[in-house]
């Protein structure tokens, strides 16, 4: 269905503060504690107090019920509008979108959005935790058409798409490797990133294979960590501490018929989602200065960059191999190191990094030069749900 995004939303709302918790291996903090810390840091960044917040759109691990309520309890907030989105890695941008919609509808004025997880600690905190992660619970697994054939873990589902892309377009593993190498270079400039060692294409080739076509370095990290953002109107943003980062456009799309249906694993939901975001923003791919792309696996960056129109479908391999994603490239991407090399917090850190690039807070070693626009993607929910956010500086 062809629907016209409401361009009246363009530049009307802003992200006025962002924060993150400690990232990586944080065994002394729970998922709730990590999100609480990210929220407090976002409030500090904005120069706001908890009592200024009247809406919570906060999410944590899927097995913690009504996560937003637990955060509200800790922050002492009764919210006019409060919920937890459940679109996997697409949820975090979706929360920012819901924030705009709720403010527009008059339900609230100032929204705290965030997400966090304790995925590293869940598998490493103790011997018991290690055992628990090794023994899979039947309830968490499909009951049929998967486990009986040895289908386990996220790499396989995304790997089907990568293999299909290789088949259709001649894409190579070295081209996936260029993505891992670029993001590692960015991580080395980020003191908070989990990965500290330089990475060469040779290292990438030599890493052990997991589920072909993916090796270890095609896969994102297992991390503890959280991020948070505060959304309000541009008008209200005027008297706050930071230069506001404007929400120029957003879009969503969900291929609910599944990853195996049609050509969804190669032409993903990122296509229609970004088309709506560009239309709302009145911008196209050529107007974008940097990108923060949901990188659960290397291949997912390649396909989203194509779906977002930075190159034609099938040309993502040569595009990334040209060095386009590096800080001085055509499209500096995942400038914090991304989920492959900074920390994997289901896309929330991509929003945080996009905002910081446009706040212009970094030194020359990490700042995208003259960045005025940033596109951010969120992807997940059985790899069929997508959301897109286009941010810009106030001019």
Q: Can you give the binding site for other proteins, defined by CB under 8 A?
A: 136, 138, 141, 143-153, 155-156, 159-161, 163-164, 167, 208-214, 257, 260-261, 265
Task: For the CB of residue 135, give the shortest distance to other proteins in the complex, in Å.
Answer: 10
**106 or 150: CB nearest other proteins:** 150
CB of 145 to other proteins, least distance (A): 6
- Nearest distance from C-beta of residue 260 to other proteins, angstroms: 5
What b/e readout covers 348-381, taking b as 16+ CB neighbours within 10 angstroms? Answer: bbbbbbbbbbbbeebeeebbbeebbbbbbbbbbb
Beta strand pairing call for 55-59 and 111-118? parallel
Residue closer to other proteins, measured from CB, 40 or 154:
154
From CA 321, how far away is CA 176, in angstroms rounded? 8
- Angle, helices 348-359 vs 91-104, to 10°: value is 70
Residue 388 parent element (H or E): strand 385-393
Give the residue with the Cβ less far from other proteins, 6 or 257. 257
Cβ-contact 248, 363 below 8 angstroms: no
Nearer to other proteins, 136 or 312 (CB): 136
To other proteins, the closest distance from the beta carbon of 111 in angstroms equals 37
| Of 214 and 310, CB closest to other proteins | 214
**Which residue, 188 or 210, is less far from other proteins as judged by CB?**
210
Strand bridging mode 111-118 / 81-83: unpaired
Burial label for 213, CB within 10 Å (0-12, 13-18, 19+), is buried
Q: How far, in Å, are 34, 52, 100, 179, 393 from residue 43 at the CA level?
A: 14, 9, 18, 33, 20
């Amino acid at each position: 269905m062809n629907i016209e995004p409401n361009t009246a939303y363009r530049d009307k709302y802003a992200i006025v503060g962002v924060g993150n918790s400690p990232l990586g291996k944080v065994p002394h903090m729970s998922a709730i504690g990590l999100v609480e810390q990210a929220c407090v840091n976002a409030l500090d960044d904005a120069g706001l107090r908890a009592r200024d917040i009247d809406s919570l759109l906060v999410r944590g691990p899927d097995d913690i019920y009504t996560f937003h309520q637990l955060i509200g309890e800790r922050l002492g907030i009764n919210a006019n509008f409060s919920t937890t989105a459940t679109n996997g890695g697409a949820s975090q941008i979706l929360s920012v979108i819901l924030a705009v919609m709720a403010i527009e509808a008059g339900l609230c004025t100032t929204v705290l959005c965030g997400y966090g997880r304790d995925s590293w600690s869940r598998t490493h905190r103790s011997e018991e935790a290690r055992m628990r992660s090794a023994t899979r619970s039947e309830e968490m697994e499909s009951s049929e058409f998967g486990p009986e054939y040895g289908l386990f873990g996220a790499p396989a589902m995304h790997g089907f798409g990568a293999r299909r892309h290789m088949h259709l377009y001649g894409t190579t593993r070295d081209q996936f490797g260029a993505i891992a190498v670029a993001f590692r270079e960015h991580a080395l400039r980020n003191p908070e990133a989990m990965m500290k060692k330089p990475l060469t294409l040779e290292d990438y080739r030599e890493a052990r294979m997991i589920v072909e076509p993916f090796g270890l370095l095609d896969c994102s990290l297992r991390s503890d960590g959280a991020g948070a953002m505060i959304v309000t109107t541009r008008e209200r943003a005027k008297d706050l501490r930071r230069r506001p980062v404007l929400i120029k456009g957003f879009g969503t799309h969900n291929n609910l018929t599944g990853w195996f249906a049609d050509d969804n694993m190669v032409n993903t939901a990122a296509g229609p989602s970004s088309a709506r975001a560009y239309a709302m923003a009145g911008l196209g791919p050529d107007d974008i200065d940097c990108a923060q792309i949901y990188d659960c696996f290397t291949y997912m960056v390649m396909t989203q960059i194509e779906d977002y129109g930075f190159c034609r479908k099938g040309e993502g391999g040569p595009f990334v191999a040209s060095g386009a994603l590096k800080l001085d490239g055509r499209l500096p991407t995942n400038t914090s190191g991304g989920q492959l090399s900074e920390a994997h917090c289901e896309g929330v850190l991509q929003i945080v990094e996009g905002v910081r690039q446009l706040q212009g807070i970094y030194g020359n070693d990490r700042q995208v030069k003259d960045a005025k626009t940033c596109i951010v993607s969120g992807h997940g929910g059985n790899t069929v749900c997508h959301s897109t956010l286009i941010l810009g500086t106030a001019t």
